Chains A and B, each alone.
Chain A
Amino acid sequence: MADYYRSEDLARFGEIGEEAGPLWEKFAAWYGAVFEEGALSEREKALIALAVAHAVQCPYCIDAYSQECLKKGADPEQMTEAVHVAAAIRGGASLAHGVQMRNTVHGLGM
């Protein structure tokens, strides 16, 4: 697995734009705008990004947004709580699907 994820590849993210420049430029502009301060602060957005990074289990994103959260003024307690939010939603989603399991069981059972 180590060969699939190399930390130095994070800095090469922009190479994705080489084969489809206009799409990359649109993505980059939109991405930048997403993280600008709006109704949510930059710190809050970085914490959301950190939580999502854990939910989608992207090591590049976890690396990048751990740094970004610190830079935006979040502290490790806030960051850990954000990861717990991701974990709770992932765990809760599994449990919530248990209702489907129950529906099936009740449909088949006596």
Chain B
Amino acid sequence: MTAGRILPTLAKRGDPLASPEQQLEVLHGVRLPRTFGAALASASLFPLRPTALEVLQLNLGKRCNQTCRHCHVDAGPDRVEIMPHEVVERCLAVVEGTDIPTVDITGGAPELHPAFREIVRRARAAGKHVMDRCNLTVLLLPNYADLVGFLAEHRVEVVCSLPHYRRRQTDTQRGEGVFEESIEALRRLNAAGYGDPDSGLILDLVMNPVGAFLPGNQAALERDWKAQLARSHGIRFNRLFTITNMPLARYLEWLQESGNLAAYLERLVQAFNPAAAAAVMCRTTLSVGWDGRLHDCDFNQMLELGTAEGAPQTIFDFDLPALQRRAIRVGPHCFGCTAGAGSSCGGATA
């Protein structure tokens, strides 16, 4: 059933699941056949170590103009946490002072951050590849009408959420009316050259399953998405990323309420794929929270699991060699990235 457009977040409702400790307690409360550490050990990957740092992912905060039902951030209009100026400046100093090739900007809706454009400009001036994780509808907000042109001018790769090429599934997950607005935003991106193979402006779509199941074959779904969006709406895009829903925050709430929690976690465990484990994104990504704390990934960030003891803890004590020596912190939620063909911010990994 389609939800209303905007719902209060877990934090606003004072729901116990707004607490990362409570989320971890729920996850650890489900009896699973083995721990993630044991699964890694079976693939000779424990403890999990970084490889080369390729992506600095900046989470600019929890503000968003949507309240998607599967959001692992518990983002929404009622959230006030955004990255302060001094953290932005320190992140940019790291971007400008290192060889990390990609800056991945996420949130919430990162475009709502007052420094979003400054971050993009300076990261691009430093020669970085910049990715914007965009919810699409933000591009239609009155004060952001020039955002598409800005993104194109700075040749930002735009990674957009669209769980389905049809209205009902999209609105069920993301809110009433989101599908129509998303299609309009995609049209504007296409008009600016995004998705045109000759323009070099990259437009990716992200699909998360609308329910308690794993995504299907990414290549097959991409062919289907391309054909259906072209046929029904004349829209083109470059790549489709399939991302497994992570059992955190509002998706965790839904799993509990719908009675799917144990079966979903068991499905993730049973689908553990050693090849996906070897290619997990936390080995090549460092995640910076809105408060400047460092995390192995955006999911650990939402659980407030910082980098391992002894490793740099904030962007203010960023030390690449020390970070590269750390062990990556894992938990039951990590099965979400290693199930089936794997899952990452760049889609399937195996």
Contacts and interface: CB of A to CB of B under 8 A. Distances in A.
Interface in A75-99: 75-77
Contacts of A67: 213
B221 A73 contact: yes
Contacts, number: 41
Nearest to B267: A67
B220 A43 contact: yes
Contacts of B22: none
Interface residues of A, number: 12
Contacts of A75: 164, 166, 168-169, 210
Given A42-B217, A76-B168, A77-B168, A71 B209 contact: yes
A103 interface: no
B311 to A, nearest CB: 38
Contact of A41 (B164, B169, B213, B220): B220
B214 interface: yes
A25 interface: no
B225 A73 contact: yes
- Determine the main DSSP class of B at the interface with A: loop
Nearest to B223: A41
B50 interface: no
Interface string B193-215: 00000000000000101110111
The size bracket of the interface on B is 10 to 19
B213 A70 contact: yes
A76 B38 CA distance: 37
A73 B224 contact: yes
Nearest to A37: B220
Contacts of A77: 166, 168
Interface in B128-184: 164, 166, 168-169
A62 to B, nearest CB: 15
A71 B164 contact: no
Contacts of A43: 216, 220-221, 224
Contacts of B207: 73
A45 B213 CA distance: 18
Interface in A21-60: 37, 41-43
Contacts of A70: 209-211, 213
Nearest to A68: B216
A83 B211 CA distance: 20
19 contacts: A37-B220, A41-B223, A41-B224, A42-B217, A43-B216, A43-B220, A43-B221, A67-B213, A70-B209, A70-B213, A71-B213, A71-B214, A72-B216, A72-B220, A72-B221, A73-B164, A73-B207, A73-B224, A75-B166
Given A42-B217, A73-B220, A76-B168, 4 more contacts: A41-B223, A43-B216, A43-B220, A71-B215
Interface of B: 164, 166, 168-169, 207, 209-211, 213-217, 220-221, 223-225
Pairs A-B, 8 closest by C-beta atoms: A71-B216, A72-B216, A75-B169, A42-B220, A73-B221, A70-B213, A75-B166, A71-B213
